[in-house]
Structure 1
């Protein structure tokens, strides 16, 4: 099987293409990367910045390069013994005119071979949507759009289209006779020119056979393309589009129904990705859909262009385990497969999935929690509740439930209605009297909102194992939140968990309903937690992160060791990520903010000062303070996390903070939101930011020295985080550009262009350092740590060591090491046969050293030691300093940390 040594995530788009990556291949190889981890490269909506809005999974995206560009890139990778991990998107495609499958449905209806490829309810209970898919893309009602000329019929080279704004959807073939009839009626030119049209119309005006209509299509098009008919056609179309009656009659014959975009919050008849109308989900559980969607992917794998696959949003699929088994059968056992899966810190990836592991959010969370002090949680809570009293009475679990219910009631009612319709249509309603549909629907909503994790993965009843535990927790939570619905919740429990003969229908229908519910709990969790709760619960926002849990305030060293031992046992080849294209803030910003957990007293003091000096900039909007206390608490942390390492904001810093802050306000959905932005409130918040960041303010005078202090300590943790990512069980993954400092804010800020020339220059300098004389170079890197070269050095040396000793990290043991300073250093060994390496990372650095003083030598470590196993080698080499060290049974930390703040020791020379 192909096993990456280290992956490097690349975000392709029109401004970073195959050719752009080609120029960086020598640099990536020199850094120690052996696998390009590519965002989706398939045809996507024009201008896509991410590639997840696929319009054709069987074609390369021309905006990022030609097939020849791709082949040249692949050849260069092979010449450099490098590989390719491809991100694929099986859950959804773009609802867009370039989506050929969807457009074929719009033209051909039930006769289209793709008619059942998308997750559409063609028999929706709303008669307006029977046989049609809702297209919620209008900025007004359809009547208004027609009256304003925003919605009209047009004639193109390949036929009639319904045009709205810049979009064009093909008119159904069954509507062509009506269109031609209206055009004939509207004709104002002499009849001799259009005699042929009347003959064509006569031959098809009562035709319902699609095959025969297709046979006539080209004949009709050839006729209408005649030059002498151009004026006649234009006049006829103009009259038609001015006639509300004629145009509406034609629209009624389409297989889509255009509506106001916001209507989808209350009603929708297709499954969408989260709440994004522009992304329509596939029925990937259908074997034909699977085969057609993966044809090009399989071809590229067999051709050798792809060596691994990353599966996007596995939670959206009806039956993930069956999908993964089909995929494994398609690509064979040698393909490395990673799944995008967000796991609760107590949740396990299903053991029956034929994959190498997940994309690394779990590792991100564990490392993030490791660098958070567990000791001062109570003090931190007191500070937050004092600053933001409104949060005090709302525990995190209840807040998550409330925000999920908010999403259900305000933005996902269409989805819950569809689920309940399935419940009813499957004859799952109780046979006994005493139940109302209203109460049952309410119970279903509460149960779905009460799920403690994203979803279950069962495909059989009764639910067993981890899924059964999750389901029981969901029912227990639901009952706690809705005691008045206990009877209804008990009924759902019987449906899912009990084998009672008296239940109204077969287990097959019950299971189908449960599995459909699980395609819904994932999006509900994502929107309710990641995109809402994370912007409302601001105790320590470094943990308001994808995969992490803001309710947890740090873990112990022993817990970290336990998690790594379990990872080595179950998922040794899972990815170790610390930043991705979806993380809320950069990996180094999180480490910096975690330092606050070690200094709550100083944090409280600085907050009181800022509260006093910034009081003058507060405003009142509709009796609400702007910004709110909670938003200010968030803002201060966001600024501390994002402020540049060198202590001076770049020219675009305020603009970037404005964008991220506006997004945070709208995602919080308290005083503004995306569908109805409260511009007055938002403007006052941005004005507040403008005031406090002005030159020579009292805020700035205290902010700058404080952020400088945090930056230094955060830098130490960032180096530790980097080393752990590369040496702990799992495959290290580096997000583009993160070999230098990453203080980015939420997307799209974290997808800004990367300065590869700077990185190449730095790496070239590092590569030229003499092996036997690094002391001065290390001192220089530490003195100039804000430039990031010290992080690149850590990354480069650790990656090179890992690449040269791949088996040690993919097959070797993980051995936790005990220290005489249990709280101040994390230490472990990796061992394979007679080869060992030691990893040592300082913790609780605020107590170890003063700011700007690296935790080195006797002054910091005194007589602290690490105890080695009795059979450990005596002779070692420090990978970072190149020093030879002799160790007997123990490691003296003052010696190991003599000239560099983290340590990677090897028992063999490299």
Structure 2
């Protein structure tokens, strides 16, 4: 465990998206300082490009010019330095943009496997490099004059132009292109191309620039005319295309045959061979310079499981950064996984906390009732395991088929002649589909590949070690990509309740959730206490953190919720359409519509506020459309069903036109919203006080009922947060409780605990975690623990399963008299200490037994501190 003193006590997650710049981030620093933040975590500060499906891919060599470049970044660094706030930035060593703007990729297009940067990418050079850029087959694009030959004066190269993108021609093909053109310019171009060397690509383009710059206007016009005539000569243009290291193809064709490892679901991000020392050094050059300048204190490493050797990479990164850099990964733990001791990091980005917190706050006793009702509505009953398996199979064969096919072909070349490639592919598919985690590692691999090798007619002993290692690496990277997509997309949408499925694990221990929580936290305190605790906006979640807490409340009163859905489906049955023999929306989609409405409905929304109502309708519609595309049943990203989507949008529109229904909806959902608010406050306090560094997603210090695709707050949003912080700090706690809808109550709880963490950093970063026993009538509805080190102690208690207690009330406050003899048992070593309630200011002498009714008299969560 690191023993340095510069570990941050909290982090605030800021995103460079939707026009947000470094200057915007710098302007928000004073507010973050007031809030109690001492570290800012920023999404990629490097140049980004569109990678499709809402993804961004970044160039690790250049600070983001659209966000302000070096000047804007310097302003951000100065603002953070003046405030005493450190900076953590994202890096993604698993991928590089597969775009012309990336000079490494551009070199690959021009020189193929001989390119200076060829080894930087994971490319199969047994055939030409696939470029999935066409909407129509190549022959149609040629017939429609959508492809042309040009000399690009900005890049100083001959290339193919298509849809405002440029694809460089290989220097040997210049002779073919310029054939028949007799001019000084053409002759000098041919000579320069003949002498060009892949080891010096910039020199070649500099030569072309000088030649073109010195040429006469008549020679330039002659070249342009020649290229124009070749463009309309389809036969000649085809010949030029066949001489390139790449081939233009449709996205659909690329899904079947892609010659490079792409980054999860993006065809426009290519896998990087970052394990190679030269690639590692070039990829991290700029980021490591920022570390050395103390402009950056550490890294958040994304897509770690996509690397060939995560442990080896992290060892290399730690060696390059030094021991003081703070490094976390976006590793997601599934089915009881724990942090590998081989990984030289401070911990993870904290997504496992989403699972652990949700697991202890969901009502496992009544969850089956909810799931059975959902299965009945959906018209299909399957276990989570089967659903998960189906989703992984679909993604493997629809989105990652090129990698699956390539892996099968790789083994086939070492197999006996009578072995069928299809059987090898099936064995690989079945093994990955059954894998319960993202990937396996050397220590737990054992006989994992037995079925695959047997099917291929191979044994491990017959394969050269280098060949086996290559197969192993390809398999691991493919299994990680499949799992990531299964978690993010198909597996998550068509299940009920969504909130349980999106937490990325099957219940750690449904029969003993409190014990499971304590076990996890004790393990984290022992193994990775400096890792993060996150509650929102990982790529595996669909809802903001407080929306999820509302959905957990559904499990506490499932019968009432089921009746609500039934009533509303009947009410709007006349708006359901029939398209090609299918109900639209499908009953399962109707459930999703009402469930999502319950999750995201703003607590202060007035039905006469037409603008805000329309915003909610638009947000809901967009979410449901994305969902039905990914649910595989109605459509898929590559198979968009427009009539279905329009019918679903019309159905949602009819729901929002019915004001009587909306009034009824709000009235029937209010008990869930109050219980959800209690859940949210419990989750917030747990995140602030359990082992790990709390991460606050932009804007989630107040109520966060958003969807994961929603943009971050703009400057006006931060002005509101700053004004609300003034209100939260200055108002009596009882006033904030009465005005809980505003979110100022949550902001007060967060800022109070952030300042507490700054006051007692060692206690919360490295202190012991000790579960506290609870007895009495409501013992199952309370979770309590002690944080302790040599100088300080902190008792924390939060309610769980609050629906029954609060459903008749208008505020998220537990009716304490009903708790009777419910008691928190305090260890003898601190029973005589004088504790201070950090939220209410009350002084408490707990003794050896602290009654919940006494501890929670003024508020439902308890944080007591003693020196």
TM-score using structure 1 length: 0.89
* 1:255 to partner: Cα distance: 1.9
- Residues 447 and 489 in structure 1, CA contact (< 8 A), matched pair in contact too: no
| CA 494–564 in structure 1, closer or farther in 2 if over 3 Å, else same | farther
Alpha-carbon distance in 2 for matches of 1:889, 1:630: 51
| CA distance, structure 1, for counterparts of residue 829 and residue 507 of structure 2 | 41
Q: CA contact under 8 A between 1:52 and 1:89: conserved in structure 2?
A: no
SS state of the match for residue 258, structure 1? strand
CA distance, structure 2, for counterparts of residue 748 and residue 269 of structure 1: 34
The aligned residue for residue 86 of structure 1 is 89
Corresponding residue number in structure 2 for 1:885: 844
Q: Distance in 1 between matches of 2:412 and 2:53?
A: 41
Match of 1:895 among 854, 860, 863: 854
Q: Give the match for residue 739 of structure 1.
A: 701
Query: How many Å apart are 1:746 and its aligned residue?
Result: 3.1
Equivalent residue, structure 2, for 1:179: 177
SS in 1 for 2:108: helix
Consecutive unaligned residues of structure 1, counting only runs of 5 or more, are 124-129, 185-193, 459-463, 476-485, 497-502, 770-776
Structure 2 match to 1:802: 757
Alignment correspondent of 2:719: 757
Q: 1:405 aligns to what?
A: 393
Alignment correspondent of 1:444: 428
Q: Supply the distance in 1 between the matched residues of 2:842 and 2:234 (Cα, whole angstroms).
A: 83
Please give the root-mean-square deviation of Cα atoms over the aligned residues, in Å: 2.5
**1:371 is the counterpart of 2:361:** yes
Deviates more, 1:196-205 or 1:751-760: 196-205
1:653-685 residue CA offsets vs partner (Å, 9 max, x unmatched): 111111111100101121122212111111111
Given the superposition, is the C-alpha separation of residues 242 and 59 from structure 1 closer, same or farther in structure 2, using an over 3 Å criterion?
same
* CA drift at 1:364: 1.0
In structure 2, do the counterparts of structure 1 residues 551 and 693 end up closer, same or farther at CA, with 3 Å as the change threshold? Answer: farther
Once the two structures are TM-superposed, the CA of residue 880 in structure 1 deviates from its matched residue by 0.4
Query: In the TM superposition, what are the counterparts of 1:639-788 in structure 2 within 5 Å?
Result: 639-648=597-606, 649-697=612-660, 699-748=661-710, 755-768=717-730, 777-788=732-743
Distance (whole Å) between structure 1 residues aligned to residue 654 and residue 524 of structure 2: 48
- Give the SS at the match of 2:61: strand
Kept in 2, the 8 Å contact 1:377–1:553? The answer is no
Tell me whether 1:99 sits opposite 2:58 in the alignment.
no
Alpha carbons of structure 1 residues 212 and 629: separation in structure 2 relative to 1, 3 Å = closer
- Cα separation, 1, equivalents of 2:267 and 2:207: 36
> 1:788-847 CA distances to partner (integer Å, 9 max, x unpaired)?
000100101011101110000112111111112321111111011141111111112112
How far did 1:205 drift?
8.2
For residues 538-563 of structure 1, give each alpha carbon's deviation from its aligned partner in whole angstroms, at most 9, with x where no partner exists.
Answer: 22111232534489868621111111
**What is aligned with 1:483?**
none
1:646–1:787 Cα contact (<8 Å) kept: yes
- Please, which of 143, 168, 171 is the counterpart of residue 170 of structure 1? 168
Q: Residues of 2 paired with 1:589 and 1:528: CA distance? A: 22
Instruction: Note closer, same or farther for the CA distance 1:354–1:198 as it changes in structure 2 (3 Å cut).
Output: closer
Tell me, what secondary structure is at the counterpart of 1:741?
Answer: coil
CA contact (8 A) 1:19 1:65 kept: yes
Moved more, 43-52 or 509-518: 43-52
Cα offset for 1:436?
A: 3.5
Displacement, 1:580?
2.3
- Structure 1 residues 622 and 754, CA gap change in structure 2 (3 angstroms): farther
Q: 2:121 aligns with which of 118, 123, 126?
A: 118
Residues 424, 782 of structure 1: alpha-carbon distance in 2 compared, 3 angstrom cutoff: same
* Equivalent residue, structure 2, for 1:143: 139
Corresponding residue to 2:57 among 53, 56, 67: 53
Bigger mean CA deviation after superposition, 268-277 or 205-214: 205-214
Conservation of the 8 A alpha-carbon contact between 1:574 and 1:731? yes
Q: 2:264, 2:481 within 8 Å by CA — same for their partners in 1?
A: yes
Q: Sort the Cα spacing of 1:555 and 1:340 in 2 relative to 1 into closer, same or farther, 3 A.
A: farther
Question: Measured at CA, do residues 110 and 882 of structure 1 come closer, stay the same or move farther in structure 2, by a change above 3 Å?
Answer: same
Contact in 1 for aligned 2:767/2:789 (Cα 8 Å): yes
Q: Within 1, Cα distance between the matches of 2:785 and 2:836?
A: 16
How much has 1:621 moved relative to structure 2?
0.9
1:526 Cα shift?
Answer: 2.1
- What is the match of residue 838 of structure 1? 795
State the Cα distance separating 1:632 from its structure 2 match: 1.4
SS in 2 for 1:4: coil
Alignment pair present for 1:396 and 2:396: no
Structure 1 residue 525: Cα displacement: 1.4
Q: In the TM superposition, what is the alpha-carbon distance from 1:787 to its structure 2 partner?
A: 0.7
Offset at residue 203 of structure 1 (A): 4.5
Could you say what secondary structure the match of 2:844 adopts?
Answer: strand
Q: How far apart, CA to CA, are the structure 2 residues paired with 1:145 and 1:49?
A: 24
Shift in alpha-carbon separation, 1:555–1:715, aligned structure 2, 3 A: farther
Shift of 1:234: 2.7
Equivalent residues of 2:51, 2:267 under 8 A apart: no
CA distance in 1, matches of 2:474, 2:802: 48
Q: Deviations over 1:452-484 (max 9, x none)?
A: 1110122xxxxx34x44xx65x98xxxxxxxxx
Q: Within 5 A, what are the aligned runs for 1:126-275? A: 130=127, 132-157=128-153, 158-182=156-180, 184=181, 195-197=183-185, 199-200=187-188, 203=191, 220-225=208-213, 226-275=216-265
Offset of 1:885 from its aligned partner? 1.5
Q: Decide whether the 8 Å contact of 2:391 with 2:491 is kept in 1.
A: yes
C-alpha distance in 1 between matches for 2:196 and 2:223: 24
Who is 1:622 aligned against?
A: 580
Which residue of structure 1 aligns with residue 320 of structure 2? 330
Question: For residues 588-632 of structure 1, what are the alpha-carbon distances to aligned partners after superposition, in whole Å with 9 as ceiling and x for unaligned?
Answer: 000001001110121122222123212221111111111112111
In the alignment, structure 1 residue 5 sits paired with structure 2 residue 5? no
Give the direction of change, closer, same or farther, for the CA distance of 1:751–1:279 in structure 2 (3 Å limit): farther
Aligned residue for 1:564, secondary structure, equals helix
Residue aligning to 2:609? none
Aligned-partner Cα distance in 2 for 1:656–1:871:
53
SS at match of 1:746: coil
Change (3 A) 1:639 1:416: same
Match of 2:783 in 1: 826
1:875 aligns with 2:834: yes
Residue by residue, what CA displacement relative to the aligned partner does 1:375-417 show, whole Å, maximum 9, x if unpaired? Answer: 2133223322332232x1x222122222222223333221111
Whether 1:38 and 2:1 are equivalent positions in the alignment is no
Match of 2:564 in 1: 606
Are positions 1:539 and 2:496 aligned together?
A: yes
Residue 461 (structure 1) aligns with: none
* TM superposition shift of 1:223: 4.4
Check 1:833–1:197 CA distance in 2 against 1; reply closer, same or farther (3 A cut): closer
CA distance in 1, matches of 2:202, 2:372: 72
- The 1-side partners of 2:615 and 2:406 are apart by 45
User: How many angstroms apart in 1 are the aligned matches of 2:217 and 2:63?
Assistant: 36
User: Which 10-residue stretch deviates more, 615-624 or 248-257?
Assistant: 248-257
Q: How far apart, in 1, do the equivalents of 2:71 and 2:198 lie?
A: 39
Partner secondary structure for residue 239 of structure 1: helix
The answer (yes or no) to whether the contact 1:119–1:270 under 8 Å persists in 2 is: yes
CA contact 1:564–1:728 (8 Å) conserved in 2: yes
Change (3 A) 1:494 1:743: farther
Range 373-382 or range 783-792, more displaced:
373-382
Indicate if the aligned counterparts of 2:196 and 2:204 stay in contact, CA closer than 8 A: no
Q: Could you report, residue by residue, the CA deviation over 1:36-59 in whole angstroms, capped at 9, with x for unpaired residues?
A: 1010111122799988411x3121
User: Does structure 1 conserve the Cα–Cα contact (< 8 Å) formed by 2:412 and 2:456?
Assistant: no
Equivalents in 2 of 1:635, 1:743: separation in Å?
Answer: 15
SS in 1 for 2:160: strand
Pair 1:559-2:516 in alignment: yes
Q: How many residues are aligned here?
A: 849
Structure 2 Cα separation of the partners of residues 105 and 574 of structure 1: 38
